[in-house]
Structure 1
Amino acid sequence: MFRIMLKSKIHRAKVTATKLYYEGSIAVDPLLLKAADILPGEKVEVLNLNNGSRIETYAIEGKKGSGEICLNGPSARFACEGDEVIILSYCLVNGEEAAKMKKNVIHVDSSNKIKN
């Protein structure tokens, strides 16, 4: 049996911008993507802590070192600049792998810089 498991989580990032008339996606600082093990083009779920909404989209690289979290296209209607979001990615694993799976949680500060 296969299970869908949480692989990565960027916790409580702040939306830095929205661009309605863009093709779509969420632009994320590549430093955050790398730390969270999320690839450009990977499907992600975005949860908005301010309004309780959640959407699915895909990640693209923003400007490196900027702390950018920018919702693009129709996703821009989901959040306002300054809203706090959680970005999740999942993976499909067999039962044995699922039991050993460790999620990768990245905590960020108010500037979307990684906390240590």
Structure 2
Amino acid sequence: DRPAAIRLSGAFHIAVAATRGEGVITDFLRGLISQSSLVIALYGRSHAPACGHDEHVAFLKGLEKRDGDRAARLMSDHLDHIVADLDLVVHREPSVDLAVVLRASRQ
């Protein structure tokens, strides 16, 4: 269920940011995630979720060990993976219902 996967992945990233208690940063990230979810839904090449479960687990382990350098490298690799899956040249009909993807961003 690609729309649900995109929505849940965004929720994961917001939850990680929210643990820091920085409301302004979390709100800013919420806006970025809404926009990036739209881009992923429209231009993602693969039908698999853009954010892999394994990447999230590895990132959390880096945070858990308080290894900021590792966590930063893993997040950078994660973002590179997402960007690599985008096809920003080809214009086609959306493969997912955007209303379903964006519905959770209002919550």
TM-score tier by shorter-chain length is: under 0.3
Give the TM-score of the pair, scaled to structure 1.
0.23
Could you say which structure has the higher helix fraction?
Answer: 2
